[in-house]
Every structure is written in structure tokens, then in C-alpha cells.
Chain A
Amino acid sequence: MNRFEKELKEGNFVCGECPNCKNIVWPPSEYCSACLGGVIWRGASRSGTLIEYSRKNGEWFGMAEFEGKIRILGTIMSDNEPRVGQKLRLEKCGYDEGERFLFNVVGN
């Protein structure tokens, strides 16, 4: 299990950043995908932007982007239809038979 998964199990959202080339390494890995050097793990921003969405059984889900690089799929907590480009917040993340991410809509 890598650091990302370990932290996720504690409800933390982290990413690896390369001290050499400042590359945010995504998907998570111990090695920088640009220079293959080691990464330094740090908390990742929870403020994101909605890239695309759809709905299953009345529940919205979509792809959000964080720090201009990290893209993940999660559940969007909203009664109204979201819109592409909307600001989201990663409200909760964790691990329950797989990774789970929960987004809240910020403002409108």
C-alpha cells in the first residue's frame, strides 16, 4: 500500500510532490513521473473544479480537478444539477472496499 492509500484510510487527502521539478505526481506514486526521483508527501488542496458529471439512481457523480493536476471521480452532494466548471470542495474521503470521495458544491 502506498502513502496515498494509507492516508486515505485515515480520511486524509495527500499528494506526492517532487522536490526537484515541483511536479505534482498523479496518479499517486513514490516516484516522480517526470524525473523518477523520490516525492515528498503533503496535504493536497481540497478546493476543486468540476470537469464532467453524470447521474446514477438520482445521485450525481463526476470528475473533479484539484491543484490543476489531480483528477478524481466522486459523489457530488447536490440536489440540483451541477455544472461544468463549478467550484467543489472535497468534503470527505476514505476507504470502504475501495477509495471514496465526496464533493460538496461551493456557492453556485
Chain B
Amino acid sequence: MRRVGIVSAGQTKFTKDDSSIESLLVSSVKPLFDESKDLSQKDIDVVLTSTNSNQKYLANIVSELSGISPRIAHSVESLCNSGTNCIVSAFSYIASGLADVALVVGAEKTDSPGLVLDWDVSRGQYKHPIYWSSLFTSSHMRKYGTTLEDLAYVSAKNHVNGRANPFSYFDRSYSFEDVMASKKLTDNVRLLDCSMPCNGSASILLASEDVANKFKEKPVWITGIGQKSISAGFTKNSDLSSMQSTSIAASDAFSMARCSPREIDVAEVHDAFSICEIMALEDLGLAERGRGAKIVRDLYETGSRKVNPRGGLIGTGHPLGATGIAQTIEAYRQICGESGKRQIDGARTALVHNMSAAATSSTVMVLRS
């Protein structure tokens, strides 16, 4: 298997502007080319698109609009972790030798059909994601004594981090007090505990070890990948105080990367709701069971950006198909030392965690300099 590196990336600001999915997708391809002076359209032999849009043939449309004639072009859809699934598909084409350079382009619109999984009859009338999030929260609170304050620290921290991210949807900050006082959607989920759907686009370029140096002096290598799907329906989660798919994906990713959670300098975790970041830290092995909330509070109080330096989903917005790619771009930039005000000194090893539909599936990647 050949090594696969990340060699370029492009993003545009998350918004709620009126825009077509095709135009959104192409918008982040331009900045990617801008920062890769040695990249030409002819170099790209795979174009994959990540979105839950109902529009068809998007990878071919993006290719044509970008002047690329790839050998392989298709879409990848897996609700909220479409982005990392798309990166993993591109990784596989390159690692196997079928391709050398792959462009992965993700985008979503605010009114995405991927926001609610209508198929899941077991959710009854409680199909909206706030309900599974509320039941996860109840369960974690009962088992570990997690409080509404603990949840508010997740959101407040990620909003603080998001303020240093020029691509964030938000143009104002939300404090701990704002989160505590925000509208109650259920007894334990408030409006500011939720990530917000928005328009967004993010693109990333992967290349084989044979050609990566042509585009980037020091590529960032994808050294570990773990993916697990335990089900599609929410009610198949056997324990609601943890995310089984995340634990399994993390264990596989660490094993492939031959590294341990202790070596992670920076982590992008899927905070679809406040409770998800606390559970993810525990399931990824970045916190002991029941200690996730304590870690978040420490990060908040010390101003550490180690977890979700980009601002997470809560602090920047959640355009489903772009999210996993934007997370991976942050990990890439941190390792390259290109994160500006968000830079974590000396970051060498990063983790990306992206999941879907009440954690019924998860992707975890380990990136290294």
C-alpha cells in the first residue's frame, strides 16, 4: 500500500447566502488551486464530491466546471460523515495504485435533505436529531453526573475558538452565560448546544508518496483510518452514554497509525451537540470514561485549543458534506503550522473524528507530519 499525503486545501466562508450546490462545490476548488502553484488540472485523476444534495452527477459537473477530465469521478454520501468517507475513498484509490492525485470536494446547503433520516421508523415522531442528542445527554448525566454547565462549556469553548476562524458562519461570540440562557429545545438540549446547518464548501487534495512533493514540500500523511458502522437506526445504540462506532473506529485508526491517544497534539471531534464532544473525548481515549466534561472545562479555563481549534461544528456551522473535509483541513493546517491565530505550537500528530446519524457510524483518521 502506498502512502497518501494531503498536499493542498481550499475553503470558503460558511454562509446562508442563496447559492446552488454546483456553485458552492466549485467555490472551494479555486482557493485550493491558488495555493498550489505547481498544480494543473491535468494532474488530477480522481474527483470525488461529498454532499447529501439530491442533485445528480455532481463530481462530473464539478470536474467540467473546473476544467478537469478525471479518470474517476463520483459522489459519496453518508449523511454527516460524507466528508471523511469521501477522503477515505480517495485515499483508497491512491493507496491501491489506481490513481495518483485526487481532489475531494464537499459542500452542503442549509436546507440539506441529509438533516433528518426519515427512514428510521424507530424514532417515531422524534426524528429530529435533537431527540437522540437529548437521550444521549440523559444517559450520560445519569451515569457520570454530567451537568448542563458541563455542556455549556463545550459550546462556549468552541464559539471562542470559532472566532479565530475566518470561515466560520458566526460573526459574533457566544459566552458560557449565553449558552446557559439560550432557548431550551428539550430539558437538557439548548439552542446553543446544537450545531447549525448552513451553506459551506471545503476541498482537499490528496497525492501518492510518489508525486506528493511536487505539490507540497512537506505533505501531511494520513497514517491511520478507522471506520465503523453499527447500524443506521438510532435505537440500535446499545449504550446511550457512549458511541460504540467511535470507540471501534478509533481503536482501528490508532492501530493502523501505530500510535496512542497520548500522542495526539490536536483533535477535531464531531460536536454535533455539546454532549457529543464529551462522549467523543471518552470514546476516542482522549479522556477517561466519565472525565470528558472535566477535560473540556480545563481546556476552556486554560484557553487551550487542543480540541476543536477550528471551532468545531458548534462554533463554525455544520454544512454536512463539507464538515468532515473542513475538519481534516484544520488538522492539516495545524500540522503544517499554517493555522494563524489558532496555531497549536509544535502540532505534529492530529486526529479527526466525524460521525453520522446518532453515532450509528463513525470515521476516525490520524494525520502526521
Contact = CB atoms under 8 A, between A and B. Distances in A.
Q: Do A and B come from one complex?
A: yes
B142 A84 contact: yes
Contacts of A4: 121
B121 A100 contact: no
A21 B23 CA distance: 51
B189 to A, nearest CB: 8
B116 to A, nearest CB: 10
A66 B77 CA distance: 32
Given A61-B131, A63-B235, A84-B142, A55 B187 contact: yes
B185 A99 contact: no
Contacts of B232: 27
Contacts of B123: 72-73, 99
B129 interface: no
Interface residues of B, number: 25
Which of B121, B187, B232, B233 has the most CB atoms of chain A within a 10 A radius of its CB?
Answer: B121
12 contacts: A5-B121, A52-B138, A54-B137, A54-B187, A56-B187, A73-B126, A74-B124, A75-B125, A98-B124, A100-B125, A101-B124, A101-B125
Interface of A: 4-5, 26-28, 51-56, 61-63, 70-75, 84, 98-101
Interface of B: 120-127, 131, 134-135, 137-139, 142, 185-188, 232-236, 240
Given A55-B187, A61-B126, A72-B123, 19 more contacts: A4-B121, A27-B120, A27-B233, A28-B121, A51-B240, A52-B240, A54-B131, A54-B135, A54-B137, A54-B186, A56-B185, A72-B124, A73-B123, A73-B131, A74-B124, A99-B124, A100-B124, A100-B125, A101-B124
